Structure formats: structure tokens, C-alpha cells
Structure 1
Amino acid sequence: MELPAREILSLFLPGEMSPGIEPLGNGHINDTFLVRLSDGCKYVLQRLNQKVFKDTNAVMHNYKLLENNFLNNVDVSLPGVYRSVNNNLLEFDKHGNPWRLIEFVEYAYSLDHIVKKEQSYQAGFGYGAFLKGCAKCPVGEFQEVIPEFHNLKWRMQQLDLAVEQDNANRLSAVTDLVSFYRNQYVRLNGLIAVLNSREIPVRIVHNDTKINNLMYRGEQVRAVVDLDTVGPGSVIYDFGDAIRTIANSSDEDEQELGNVAFNMDFFKAFAQGYLSQTKDMLTDTEKFHLWQAPLYMTLIMGVRFLTDYLNGDIYYKTEYESHNLVRTRVQSKLIASMETNYHPIKTIVEQMLTDNQ
């Protein structure tokens, strides 16, 4: 990997003789590197995964559209993207892989886990500020970079196909999960219908609101990163996916399921932060269904991990044979933990939405 990375880097930073290049982060999709120059400057170099982002030009089109329209009076910033000596946002190596160079967010850090409520509140504040910053983005000009990304009906159809084909001969070990996810899907029919009918408005949203896509400086969130998925979507996606990762008491690939639980304190803190920025923007329909968002997005991720496991681990990076099985069982346990908290989750959101109105 080092040789193509250095060759590509010379197109973005010509004249740099011996930059330091080291892996950065633990993302499932792209290959990311930290570049250190002799003068102390740092950059982020990324190779985009074309199996996931089949139209990388659309990814960069959206990136620049976001950069040009994001409001500058909100409390979070976005990392800029650099052009090469050829005036390109992307450069391709000899194998046809696309690379880009992104601004490094200085004096900041990301979190893989929330350990206190203030961090969760700040996460909600940051993603809420991001939604505010996207308020003037022209929805119709953004392209869909991953078709059907958060379409639960389509994800279930993909699971059904994987079950039917059983390409990796793994179905017999996961029939309980298949039944569990099918039952959960039925419970969300009302929300699915509202999303498909567009009663919930289409907005420009992040679409991948994991906790480690926020950059903290001190105790406050200062930047939102990993912008490849930004595009048309719903607040249901961003609110729900953030809660899925922030209110999970364990790792996404925790092997001891007894450690997996839904943290109500972190959920409440995130919701407070998020709604402090977005409450006045949301429609009545969005507000009515917001409490269901964590279940919706956790179900999607559980279904996606299970589908990939049945298909032979062809989408997500895995470190061992049962990695996707472990991941999907964590999501199913998190859903079960949410089920025991349905009433307080709904009550907390409703109360926050009606306070001071």
C-alpha cells in the first residue's frame, strides 16, 4: 500500500521527498492514511472503496456541493478537500483506484466510545449543528452515492435473497436471527410507509453518523468528518444511527453479548444536544416518528451484517470468519435492549419536543 500511496501523494504535494505515511482510523470501507510532512503539516490521504462507492465522481461532486453551500454560522466545520497538480479532486493509481487528499483537523480527536453524558450531549449538538448547516443545500443537485442505502424494505429483500441462495452455507446457524429481524421489520411498517411516501421530508443529511465521525477539541465537538455519504435522506437516519453507536454500551463487535445494552443516560443526553439545534427545523411528522429512529437504523445495520455474513463476507472488512456474525448479534441484542425501553425512549423524546413550545 505504501508505494501507490506515495506515488499518488506526489500529485497532491509535489516536491515532498519523504513524507511520513501511516494508517489512520478503523473504518470498514475506505483505506485512510495520515500524512506527516517534514515541516509538521498533516493531511489525510484516502483510497476510496469502489465496491461501495461505484461512482466516485458523484462522491466528490457532493463533497464540493456541500463545501460550497454549508452555512458558516453554525458551530461545526467540515474538512476541506484539495486539488492535485492536475486540478483534480481524485487521482487514480495504476490499478484504477481513486485517491484524494483531505484537510487534517488539527488539535482534535475522535472517540470510539462515549464514557460520559457530556460527550454524548456534544455529539448530539454536533450532528444537530451539521443538519442546520445543510439547511440551504440544494437537495435536487446532490447525487445518491449508494442507492437504497437506508431503505429498510430493500435491505430486507437483500436478506431474503441471501437466505434463499445461502452462498456461504451459513444459514443453519442464523435462522433465529432471520426470524428476529423479520419480526422487527413488521413492527416498523408505519414508519417505513411514511418514509416511502415522503411525508417525512427529504433533507441533506450525513447518512453515517457514527460517534467516530465527530472531531472533539477539548470537551466540544468542532468538526464533522467522513462526508462521502452526505446526500438526500432523513433526520430519521442521522438521529437513529448516532444513537445506535452512542447509546451502545459495548463495541460493535463485542463477543460477550452480556456486555451489550442500551444506555438511557447517553440516549437522553444525545437527544438533548441534537434537539437543541434542530427542534425548530423539524416538521410535525419528523417529531412524531423520531423516537423510532434508533430501532430503524439498528435493524438496518443488523440486517446488513447478517446479509454480508450469509453472502460470504463480501462487503465489510472482516478480521476473522465469524466477524460479521458477531456484529449482527450485537445489533440484535441492542434491539432487544431498546425494546425494554420503548416507553421511556418515546416519553423522553416527546417531552423534549414539547418543552418551551
Structure 2
Amino acid sequence: MLREAAAAFCRDGRTCQVERLGEGNINETFLVRSATGCFVLQRINARVFPEPLTVIENFARITGHFLEKQREHGLSFLMAAPVRTLGGALFHLDSEGSCWRGQSYLAGAPAANLFGESQVMRAGRTLARFHSLAADLDVAQLAEPLAGFHNLPGYMQEFDCVLRGTPRELDEAGRSCLGTINRIRPQATLLEDAKKAGILTVQPVHGDPKIDNFIFSESGAPDGMLDFDTVGGGLIHYDLGDCLRSSCNRAGEKGSDPSAVSFDLRYCRSFLEGYFTGGSTFGEVQRNLIFEAVYLIAFELGVRFFTDHLRGNTYFRVASDGENLARAIRQFRLVEDIAAKEQDIRRLIAAAARQH
């Protein structure tokens, strides 16, 4: 199927070189090299994205909007663009029913490969630029890529349902995860309640701005972002929380030792300074909820990993059973460290906002 898909986008499909690209948890991604250049080929995981055309059309819509803004106002943002099939379509449906799409290949350096305080600050500025460019895009033009995405109360309901149907008894690690979930459960509705009350509003967001999804220009041009699969209407606070969660965890997303997980306050300061320098402003009430966003998004991801572990690893791709449980344990360790540093984090948020 891989060769068939490559041939749909590449005129010399029989001779082009195809290699796996990255280690994403959801989709399968490949780099295609041909005589005419390189592009990224991706098979969309239909188990995760049951309506893959939604993902493809959202990507085309928001990149088109960004390009228009760049032409009109001279703004720059590094991002991929759709690569159409030889027949001019945005996707290829293979003989097994899998949906493939092409994107331009970005030759910059992924942020995760250039980790340091200056890169984290650049990530903050880049996320602010994304939000600024997307702010005037009518959110109604973006379909929902994943039902209930970043809705923590919904994830809690899903967890409860899966837990009730789990035939096996939880081991010590599982019981520890369950204890963390039940302890934090009363706070799970906080951001959704703020949305219902009109304190936080829905607007276009990236949806998955972990540090791996940032890219730095090697030419000195403005930086950008990758992986627009989850672009849609949402809360900016979820983007902020997710980016802080991933960029300030010095142990990284794939560390093997939970005790090494820690929320780095220096990185937090650098990110916030970058974000607020990028032109983003919040009222005091909205600003005060940034801490809750960091805390709850880390908790949310832990819940999702643990739920998938109990369900049999049907959402996040794993190399072996127990990998999602290990991921959940690391996220819950991060939640604990974030909670322990709450006052420090709140002071950093306030200081960054005052300076800009």
C-alpha cells in the first residue's frame, strides 16, 4: 500500500525512495525522495480520525488562511502546505480504504533536537504567532477533527466506562494511577465550566502544540509548527497548557524513569516571556487560569494514556504492552511536580504578563 500511495503523488513512483519519518503516536508518516524533490506522505489513522477528510480539509483551510495573511501583511510562519495527488486531489484512497495525504517537507530543525531555554522562548513566540494568525479565521469554517477533544469531563466519563469493563485486577502501578485520578477528579470540570460561563472563549487552536511539533528555521527566518491534524475550535488555554507541559518537562515525553520527571521553572519563564512577547494578552481572570491549564492538561494526558492501557492500546501506538501505562505514570508524576510548584508558576505567569 505504501508504494501505491507514493505513486499517487509522485510521477516517478516506482523509483522514488520512501523512508519512515518520526515516531508519532497516531499516524504513519514517511519521507518520499524523488528526482523532483522531497515531500511527506502520511497514512491517517482511521481508528483515531474516523473522518480523515475533516483533518485534510482543516489543514488546507488554515494553511490557506495563513498564506493569505502572510501575503497581505508581510507576516511569516514556517509550516507545511498540502501536496496534491497527480490527479489534483488532496488525498489518495488506497485499495484497502486507507486515506493518504501529502505535505511539503520542511527542512528546518525540530525543536526537540535543539532543546534549551532560548528554543523554549522561541516556541512561546511561535505559538503566540500561530494564535495571532488564526484569530480572525471564523472557527465555524473548521470542522471538529476529534469529537470531544480536550474535553476533560468527557475523558473522565470514558475512563469510568472503560474501568468498569476492565476484566483484570489492577496491579500496583494501576492502583497508583487510579488513586491520582480520583484525587484530582473534582477539578476536572474547571476549564469547561469557565468556557460555559463565557470566561474563556472558543477560537482556532493548534490542538497538539507539544514541543516536538515546533520547527526552527535553519536560515534565521521565523520559526513554525508541524502537525495540524487537531486544528479546530478550542481554548487557547489548552494550547498553552500542552506546550508548557511538554517543553518544561526536562525528562522528555519518552523518558524511562518517572523519578526524573520534573517541571523546569526556568523553561517555564522562558516560554511565557516568549509567548507574551509575541503579542498575546489576557485579562487577569484568563491569565489566572493558565496554571490550571498546565496542571489539567498534564492530568488529561495521563488519564488518556491510562484509559488506552486499560482498553488494550487502541488509540496511541505502542511497541509493547505496558507502554501506555508507563506514559500515564510519567504524566501523573509531572502533575504532582506542577502542583508542588504552583505558587512559583503563578508568579512567573504574572511577571511575564506585566513585562509585556
Change (3 A) 1:15 1:21: closer
Q: TM-score, normalised by structure 1?
A: 0.92
* Cα distance in structure 2, aligned partners of 1:89 and 1:325: 36
CA positional deviation for 1:300? 0.7
Q: Residue 64 in 1 paired to residue 65 in 2?
A: no
Deviates most, 190-199 or 260-269: 190-199
Match of 1:21 in 2: 18
CA deviation vs aligned residue, 1:253-311 (integer Å, no higher than 9, x gap): 3232221111111111111111112433x345422311221111101100000001111
CA positional deviation for 1:221? 5.6
Return 5+ residue gaps in structure 1 as ranges: none
Write the letter of the residue equivalent to 1:289.
Answer: L
Match of 2:270 in 1: 269
CA positional deviation for 1:17? 3.9
Deviates most, 155-164 or 75-84: 75-84
Post-superposition, which runs of at least 4 consecutive aligned residues in structure 1 deviate over 4 A? Answer: none
Match of 2:110 in 1: 110
Q: Residue 334 in 1 paired to residue 297 in 2?
A: no
Counterpart secondary structure, 2:289: helix
| Mapped contact 1:214–1:221 kept (Cα < 8 A) | no
Write the letter of the residue equivalent to 1:18.
Answer: T
Change (3 A) 1:216 1:158: same
Deviates most, 145-154 or 58-67: 58-67
* Cα distance in structure 1, aligned partners of 2:179 and 2:85: 50
Deviates most, 186-195 or 15-24: 186-195
CA RMSD, Structure 1 to Structure 2 (Å): 1.8
Match of 2:312 in 1: 312
CA deviation vs aligned residue, 1:8-65 (integer Å, no higher than 9, x gap): 22221224441110000010000000111135x1110100000111111111221121
Change (3 A) 1:336 1:121: same
Change (3 A) 1:224 1:84: same
* Cα distance in structure 1, aligned partners of 2:190 and 2:28: 38
Match of 1:36 in 2: 33
Write the letter of the residue equivalent to 1:311.
Answer: R
CA deviation vs aligned residue, 1:123-161 (integer Å, no higher than 9, x gap): 111111111110221111111010111000011111111
Write the letter of the residue equivalent to 2:217.
Answer: R
Counterpart secondary structure, 1:102: strand
Counterpart secondary structure, 1:297: helix
Q: TM-score, normalised by structure 2?
A: 0.93
Match of 1:324 in 2: 324
Paired residues in the alignment total 349
| Mapped contact 1:215–1:221 kept (Cα < 8 A) | no
Change (3 A) 1:223 1:259: same
Write the letter of the residue equivalent to 1:32.
Answer: T
Deviates most, 110-119 or 234-243: 110-119
Write the letter of the residue equivalent to 1:211.
Answer: I
* Cα distance in structure 2, aligned partners of 1:305 and 1:338: 18
Change (3 A) 1:296 1:221: farther
Write the letter of the residue equivalent to 1:207.
Answer: G
Deviates most, 197-206 or 336-345: 197-206
Q: Residue 81 in 1 paired to residue 82 in 2?
A: yes
Change (3 A) 1:118 1:145: same
Return 5+ residue gaps in structure 2 as ranges: none
* Cα distance in structure 2, aligned partners of 1:57 and 1:94: 17
CA positional deviation for 1:188? 4.9
CA deviation vs aligned residue, 1:107-127 (integer Å, no higher than 9, x gap): x12133663200110111111
* Cα distance in structure 2, aligned partners of 1:288 and 1:223: 27
* Cα distance in structure 1, aligned partners of 2:349 and 2:137: 27
| Mapped contact 2:109–2:216 kept (Cα < 8 A) | yes
* Cα distance in structure 2, aligned partners of 1:97 and 1:198: 40
* Cα distance in structure 2, aligned partners of 1:279 and 1:112: 24
* Cα distance in structure 2, aligned partners of 1:283 and 1:140: 25
| Mapped contact 1:257–1:333 kept (Cα < 8 A) | yes
Match of 1:209 in 2: 209
CA deviation vs aligned residue, 1:203-238 (integer Å, no higher than 9, x gap): 100000011111112377622110111010111111
Match of 2:170 in 1: 171
Match of 2:100 in 1: 99
Match of 2:8 in 1: 11
| Mapped contact 2:78–2:217 kept (Cα < 8 A) | no
